[in-house]
Amino acid sequence: MADPAAVTFRWRRMALIIVAMLGLFALALFLVQEQLIYFPRRYEAHEIDAPPGGLRALRYRVGDGERVAFVRAPADPEAARWWLVCSGNGGVALDWVEFVAIEDDPSVGYLLVDHPGFGANGGRPSPSAGDATVDGAIAALAAETGLAPAELLARGGVLGHSLGAAVALRAATRHRVGTAVLLAPFTDMMAMARRQVGWPFCHVLTHRYDNRAALRALAEQPRRPSVRIVHGEDDTIVPPAMARDLAAEFPFAVVTALPDVGHNDLIDHAAAIRAAMRGP
C-alpha cells in the first residue's frame, strides 16, 4: 500500500512543476510579445528617395528617432481635405500608392504614416510610440500648410486598416476629425490576444490597443466625427463579428460588410473604402 504522505508529496511536486512551466510560458510570452504582435516591413532606399504615385517623403523627428511619412497634396489646396492613413500590421504606407493614385477629388490630400519600426521609421512599435509618430507627422504637415495640427484633419479624417485602424482611431480622440473610416477593426487587443493564446496568458499583454475605449471617448466629444466601419465577411484574422460588436455598442458607427472579402485584400476594394470616406 502506497504511503499517503509520499503520494501527497508527489502530487504537490507535480503541481509545482506544472505551475512553474505555466509561469515560464507566461514570462516568455511577456518578453517576446512585441515579436508576436508586430510584423514590420522595411523600405529599400530608392522607395524613400523617389516614392511612386506622386508621393513625396515627409521627414520629421520624434523622441526616439527619425520618421518618414508620405504626402500627396491636394490639387486644390484652398479646399484641402486631408486624410491620415495608417496601414495594418505587416503593411506599410506605400501599400496605398494605387489607392491614392486614383483619387479623383482635387480637394483630397493624403498623409500616409508608418508604425514605429516599420518602413523607414526608427523606434519600436507600441501604442504610445504610435501616438507620438502620428502626432509628429500631423505637426510636420501642419507646419508646411500653415494649419493648426488639431484642425488639419477636421475636413477630412482618419483611415486605418486593422492595427492601423486602432492607431487612427486613437488619433481621432486627440485631433478634430471629420470622419473615421475603420477597415477590419478589432474590438480590443486583449480580445485578439485571448483568441491567440487563451486565458489567462492574454493578461500578460501590455500593448493594449482598445477601440471600444476610443469610441467611448469619441461618443463624449461635442463634435463627434462620423465613424464608418468596412469589414470583409471572409476575414479569418479579425472576425467580422468584432465589427458588429462595435456597432452594437456604439450605434453611431455604421458597418459595411463586404462578402467574399478577406483581411489582407480589403484594402484592394477602393470603391467601398472611398464610399465610406465620402459618406452617404
Closest CA to 111 of 166, 79, 156: 156
Closest CA to 211 of 164, 251, 178: 164
Class level of CATH domain 41-278? alpha beta
Of residues 94 and 194, more confidence is placed in: 94
29 grid coordinates: 510570452
pLDDT band at 208 (very low <50, low <70, confident <90, very high): confident
Interval 43-62 mean pLDDT: 86
At 213 the pLDDT is 95
At 51 the pLDDT is 85
Determine if residue 123 is left, alpha or beta; phi over 0 gives left, psi from -120 to 50 gives alpha, anything else beta: left
Counting residues of the chain whose pLDDT is more than 90, the rounded percentage is 55
Of residues 31 and 121, more confidence is placed in: 121
The amino acid at 82: W
Of residues 201 and 5, more confidence is placed in: 5
Interval 237-245 mean pLDDT: 95
Does residue 197 carry a pLDDT above 70? no
165 grid coordinates: 485602424
Of residues 166 and 45, more confidence is placed in: 166
Strands ordered across the beta sheet of 226-232: 56-62, 65-72, 108-113, 81-86, 157-161, 179-183, 226-232, 253-258
Angle at 38 between CA 37 and CA 40, to 5 degrees: 165
Q: What is the distance between the alpha carbons of residues 81 and 10, in angstroms, rounded to a whole number?
A: 70
Chain segment 132-146, per-residue pLDDT in tens: 999 999 999 999 988
Interval 17-45 mean pLDDT: 60
pLDDT band at 13 (very low <50, low <70, confident <90, very high): low
β-pair type (56-62, 65-72): antiparallel
Mean pLDDT over the full length of the chain: 85
At 25 the pLDDT is 46
At 24 the pLDDT is 47
At 62 the pLDDT is 92
At 150 the pLDDT is 83
CB-count burial class (<10 Å; 0-12, 13-18, 19+) for 217:
middle
Of residues 54 and 233, more confidence is placed in: 233
Helix (H, G, I), strand (E, B) or coil at 126: coil
CB 168 within 8 A of CB 160: yes
β-pair type (108-113, 65-72): antiparallel
At 65 the pLDDT is 85
At 57 the pLDDT is 93
Chain segment 76-133, per-residue pLDDT in tens: 777 689 999 999 988 999 999 999 998 888 999 999 999 999 999 988 888 999 999 9
Minimum mean pLDDT range among 26-40, 205-219, 232-246: 26-40
pTM, two decimal places: 0.86
List Cβ neighbours of 241 (8 Å cut-off, separation of 6 or more): none
At 174 the pLDDT is 94
